[in-house]
Structure 1
């Protein structure tokens, strides 16, 4: 099983970063506007996320913990065809007013890791820019 881990320091308060990441329904569009074009709830605890390149992911909420600022989801359908795809996102305090954001995805088949890792890297850069832009 392949595992991809991405992390970054964001110049934003952990509570503000968690407000976006912890929002299971609208979080993806708030996290990476333009990269993610739509996110909606299809059935209880399954969101449909549409990306700018046309990729669609059906993601089931596995766990959401406000105390640890961690969310876990699994890709259960869509246009990608993993046999397994589980992800976690977590926000940690880094220093005054800053956050460390960690995103981990485990998937099979292993050859998806390169493409998924590239998408995660791009999404992460958009997220960092979005969170650090004046609102």
Structure 2
């Protein structure tokens, strides 16, 4: 299993960043517009259908939303992935800044070659949106 780790420093408070991350149905508006172009909540709010800017659509099951730890966990259901577990944590980086830490565990191992770059693009879109 490939485990991919990415993070980025954002010039916005942890509260501001977490508020956007935890709004799981509006990531296309509040968190990373352009990278994600649409989000639709499904399964009575237990999952979301996410449409990416490249046209890919995936179902993400929300596993955990932990306000105390500023931690979101989700699992992608996809034909190209045998397994996917994603975790986004928002950490206090001091001086009113945040560090967004994104980890994804994927199978097959080769999926890391496409998932890793997508994570980098997502974090860059987050930074641009939240620093605007």
Same fold (TM over 0.5): yes
4+ residue runs of structure 1 moved beyond 6 angstroms? none
Q: Give the structure with the larger helix fraction.
A: 2
5 Å-filtered alignment, 1:41-80, equals 41-44=41-44, 45-77=46-78
Once residues 129 and 18 of structure 1 are traced to their aligned partners in structure 2, the CA distance between those partners, rounded to angstroms, is 15
Give structure 2 stretches of 5+ with no counterpart: none
Deviation at 1:28, TM superposition (A): 4.5
Give structure 1 stretches of 5+ with no counterpart: none
Once residues 21 and 28 of structure 2 are traced to their aligned partners in structure 1, the CA distance between those partners, rounded to angstroms, is 8
Once residues 29 and 98 of structure 2 are traced to their aligned partners in structure 1, the CA distance between those partners, rounded to angstroms, is 20
TM-score normalised to structure 2 length: 0.95
TM-score normalised to structure 1 length: 0.93
Deviation at 1:27, TM superposition (A): 2.5
5 Å-filtered alignment, 1:1-135, equals 1-44=1-44, 45-77=46-78, 81-133=80-132
Once residues 35 and 122 of structure 1 are traced to their aligned partners in structure 2, the CA distance between those partners, rounded to angstroms, is 7
How many residues of Structure 1 are paired with residues of Structure 2 in the alignment?
A: 131
Q: Is the 8 A contact 2:62 2:74 kept in 1?
A: yes
Q: Deviations over 1:5-64 (max 9, x none)?
A: 100111000000001111111134422111111001121211000011110010000001
